[in-house]
Amino acid sequence: MNTGYMSEETRNDVVVIGGGAAGMMAALFCAREGAKTLLLERNEKLGKKIYITGKGRCNLTNTAEPEQFLREIPHNGRFMLSPLSHLNNEGTIRLFNTLGLATKVERGGRVFPVSDKASDVTKTLHRALDAAGVKILLNSHAEKISRSEDLFTIDTADGKRIFSSALILATGGASYPATGSTGDGYRFAEAMGHRVYAPVPSLVGMNMNSDWHERLQGLTLKNVTITAKTGKKMIYHELGEVLFTHFGISGPLILTLSAHMPDHAEDTSVTLNMKPGMTPEELDKRLIRELTENSRKQLNTILNSFFPQRLAGLFPAICGLNPEMFGGDCTRADRKALLNGMTALPLPITGPRSLDEAIITRGGVDVKSITPGTMMSKQVPGLFFAGELIDVDAHTGGFNLQIAWSTGALAGQSAAAYVKNRR
Ligand SMILES: Cc1cc2nc3c(=O)[nH]c(=O)nc-3n(C[C@H](O)[C@H](O)[C@H](O)COP(=O)(O)OP(=O)(O)OC[C@H]3O[C@@H](n4cnc5c(N)ncnc54)[C@H](O)[C@@H]3O)c2cc1C
């Protein structure tokens, strides 16, 4: 393993800051092109975030066809056309297989290592980096970057001074900062004249302001739909699963919803349809039947035939009705309230959970300041960007790691070419 100390005044062809998914891939593609490459990582090991991806199994990409793949990148997806044409999902799977990592495809095209171990992804890349001759400096926190003429100077927190002809920033976003991604790259990029959009949590649960969600904590509802509208404009409508939590609501549908919510969500209404398989007319008929046949039973009991018990007990109150009301006492307005609650329950969402809990960060370095065909900065020649640091983000399913692999590979190869052309 190449973790040795770099002597001062040694000039590297390319330095990569950040040993996550994007940085490792960048360093690999760079060194394979013959560039003298140094990878700087602040943590004691590479790829700390990869270890927790896919619940420890690492959903490393997705087999979706190109058009579908782009649809899964709701934010600046078109920017990914070039990086994906350089290294797409198929190429990534082939690359990992060639490097010795066997992969398998699961539901929804999600690709995992056969071993079900995220650590195998990092180990595979680490081995490949060693084989390609990349120098790896761990426990090395880049603190300051300066550039004069064609030389980048990187100062680390422990006093090392490192020089390079080209620099790749792959410092990640600002979510799960305990893994090392504390947003340093935003600061570096801004200091070198790039526009950076403020980091916003994405793929994350939502806080709710209600007196009922806490009592449903742990309850999962399957085959429901979530609809979000800003004014009259539909911004999200999807069928799937939600989970009530102590803070509000989460689960796959809500994580994806968070990627579509505008930064200021005050004007956005979110509703839950718990019975999307029936038309309102069908559901109303069924309600009439249940209320009539059970006219001497209380609402909270009657609703057991519609919902899990915990929700049934609470549902009349959520709709503003007395749970102990008898079925036979329900007026037409009461029935309408139940029907509306079942098909379009307003979720009083107040905003996303914090960056600490977000799977990814929305925002980051403006794609307009990066040439998509090379990942080089339009302002600073020799400076390249890769990974979550860039203002591109995707849904869950392996798409975000593919963004890191593709932009990393392209940045690495382009940085090597840049250095070669200037020799
Ligand atoms: C819980 C969780 C589960 C996820 N699961 C999946 C999944 O299954 N599939 C998927 O596609 N995506 C998943 N993601 C998202 C995915 O992990 C990220 O999109 C991806 O890791 C981004 O890669 P990156 O290299 O850009 O950034 P990171 O992986 O964050 O790497 C950045 C690296 O830079 C280092 N660094 C930062 N600043 C400095 C500095 N100043 N000096 C030196 N080093 C520095 C950090 O320590 C870090 O190692 C998940 C994310 C989380 C949080």
In a domain, 193, yes or no: yes
Å from CA of 404 to ligand 1 middle: 8
Å from CA of 56 to ligand 1 middle: 13
Which residue is associated with the tokens 């690999």? 28
Environment class of residue 421 by beta-carbon count within 10 Å: exposed (0-12), middle (13-18) or buried (19+)?
A: exposed
**Residues 95 and 235 both lie in one domain:** no
Residue 1: what pLDDT? 37
**Residues 215 and 244 both lie in one domain:** yes
Residue 267: what pLDDT? 84
**Residues 287 and 402 both lie in one domain:** no
6 ligand 1 Cβ < 6 A: no
**Residues 334 and 399 both lie in one domain:** no
Closest CA to 180 of 128, 138, 226, 211: 138
Residue 5: what pLDDT? 43
Å from CA of 48 to ligand 1 middle: 7
Å from CA of 357 to ligand 1 middle: 13
Residue 149: what pLDDT? 85
pTM here is 0.94
Closest C-alpha to ligand 1, atom 9: 398
Successive 10-residue mean pLDDT values, the chain, 423 residues: 46 97 98 98 98 98 97 96 98 98 97 98 98 98 94 96 97 97 97 97 96 96 97 94 98 96 85 96 95 94 94 95 94 96 96 96 97 98 98 97 98 98 90
> What is the number of domains present in the chain?
2
- Ligand 1 atom closest to Cα of 407? 26
**Residues 223 and 185 both lie in one domain:** no
49 ligand 1 Cβ < 6 A: yes
Residue 8: what pLDDT? 43
CB-based contacts of 158, cutoff 8 Å, min separation 6: 139, 140, 141
Residue 263: what pLDDT? 79
Residue 6: what pLDDT? 43
In a domain, 2, yes or no: no
CATH number where 61 lies:
3.50.50.60
397 ligand 1 Cβ < 6 A: no
Å from CA of 367 to ligand 1 middle: 19
**Residues 287 and 324 both lie in one domain:** yes
CA distance 214 to 248: 7
In a domain, 6, yes or no: no
Domain encompassing residue 226: 205-352
17 ligand 1 Cβ < 6 A: yes
**Residues 212 and 320 both lie in one domain:** yes
Å from CA of 262 to ligand 1 middle: 23
**Residues 68 and 86 both lie in one domain:** yes
CA distance 147 to 152: 4
Closest C-alpha to ligand 1, atom 6: 53
